[in-house]
Amino acid sequence: MRTDDPRHILQRYGLSPRRSLGQNFLVDVSAPARIVAGAGVESADLVLEIGAGVGALTAALAEKAGRVLAVETDPHLVDVLHDEFDSQSNVTIIHGDILSLAPHELLEVPVPQGQPLWGRRLPHYRVVANLPYYITGAVMRHILESEIRPVCMVVTVQKEVALRMVAEPGDMSLLAVSVQFYGQPRILFRLKRGAFFPAPAVESAVVRLDLFDTPPVEVASITEFFRVVKAGFAQRRKQLRNTLANALRLPGDTVADALSNIGIAPTRRAETLSVTEWGSVYIALSPLIAGSEGRRLD
């Protein structure tokens, strides 16, 4: 495996990390192999790497995976990646912003129309990403809401974000519901600030999300489901009865009755509900909000 320190690579090319692109390169020598092992990458696997940088993770992935598609937005780093990896037949470097690249296009898979969203898993692929913190949420949504979903995602994120993703009822947030609707997250390990160059202001953690084959709750519309969840978290310290009634513009008593009918006390707060309970709330409220305009989660 290539062992060049990212700092030396940058120096050789006369480049400096660009803060505006969230460039904190992995310099901890053991971290790339630990991330690849944590992602369960095997020789048959296709891996989509997001934000390849100067290739610290790319090199470790290329050693284990059948094929690596490495996406990087910075044209200077794309040149470096070509120099470093063009001789490796299982690595393809892609220049672009991941948010404007659809996974099915990257993987060159035609998406048949009119098929159910869940279970569209071909080809079997994994996502590995050490993401700029400011686009973590957007990139995760982009992948999780895409036409073809990976079997698992391993992302390096701010430690606090990792803890919010794996939260349990009592401490749930919109982020926790958004992640846990699609899969089972767990923290693999933490990384200290010094594992990166330049060192970020906060500690990081590597999270693995194993995607479900089928949704944990049957919802007719994922968009409408998240509309209800988002309404519930609009005022997270308030009672569900009030926050749902305000955000969905429904009478408080109607919401309270609907919640009571499914065994959820109207006085509970959004942070106490599991994903399954949110499914019940959505099903109970959807006849009341049918016809009103839905919004995507943002």
Q: Considering the rule CB under 6 A, would residue 195 count as an interface residue with ligand SAM? A: no
**One residue of 24, 180, 239, 243 binding ligand SAM per CB under 6 A:** 24
| Nearest CB to ligand SAM, comparing residues 96 and 119 | 96
Which pairing describes strands 46-50 and 67-72: parallel, antiparallel, or unpaired?
parallel
| Nearest CB to ligand SAM, comparing residues 72 and 277 | 72
Give dist(CA 237, CA 205) in Å, integer.
Answer: 27
Q: Considering the rule CB under 6 A, would residue 136 count as an interface residue with ligand SAM? A: no
Site for ligand SAM in 95-124 (CB under 6 A): 97-99
Tally helices (H) and strands (E) across the chain: 12, 9
In sequence order, what are the beta bridge partners of 95?
Answer: 72
- Least distance from ligand SAM to the Cβ atom of residue 244, Å: 34
- Least distance from ligand SAM to the Cβ atom of residue 60, Å: 10
Query: Helix, strand, coil shares of the chain as percentages rounded to 5?
Result: 40, 15, 40
Give dist(CA 185, CA 165) in Å, integer.
Answer: 7
Site for ligand SAM in 35-94 (CB under 6 A): 50-53, 56-57, 71-74, 77
Helix 275-289 and helix 222-232, axial crossing angle in degrees, nearest 10? 100
- Given the rule CB under 6 A, which of 22-30, 78-86, 216-224, 236-244 is the region that contacts ligand SAM? 22-30
| Nearest CB to ligand SAM, comparing residues 154 and 244 | 154
SS3 of 253-286: the string is HHHHHHHHHCCCCCCCEHHHCCHHHHHHHHHHHH
Helix 75-85 and helix 56-64, axial crossing angle in degrees, nearest 10? 40
- Least distance from ligand SAM to the Cβ atom of residue 187, Å: 18
- Least distance from ligand SAM to the Cβ atom of residue 247, Å: 31
Residue numbers at the binding site for ligand SAM (CB under 6 A): 6, 21-26, 50-53, 56-57, 71-74, 77, 97-99, 130, 132, 135
